[in-house]
Amino acid sequence: MPTLTVFSALTPEPSHDHPRPDRLVSGNPRRTTWEHFLSANGDLSAGIWACEPGAWNIAFAPGKDEFFCVIAGRLRISDDQGKAAEFGPGDACVIPSGFTGTFEVLESVRKHYVLIDRPARIAL
């Protein structure tokens, strides 16, 4: 029987990474992810993500969408046309499939995230 995933009741092992060197804009921020939930088929994950200040280019693949809500810190996301939005504690956003731009951590940040990664649909 499926059970609730209560974040406060779990202590998943963190994973760490850095942005790919070819995408770095500034710094080399360490990113930490605590994955609290992964669906049986692997297309939905949710957890907490933290990052040090820095910036890198992002390119969301077709079929990949992310919802997030900032817990602490500040970040800015700019699209390729230069339109930017800043987010702080309590602010939420969806980064849609196909989005390209820059992700900049202004102050060390923590956020809840939900990531959906479906196979891209082929247009007929």
* 14-59 residue pLDDT tens: 999 999 999 999 999 999 999 999 999 999 999 999 999 999 999 9
Which of 13-27, 81-95, 107-121 has the weakest average pLDDT? 107-121
In CATH, the architecture of 29-117 is Sandwich (2.60)
pLDDT score for 119: 82
pLDDT score for 2: 86
pTM of the full structure: 0.92
Model confidence at 108: pLDDT above 70: yes
CA distance 65 to 37: 16
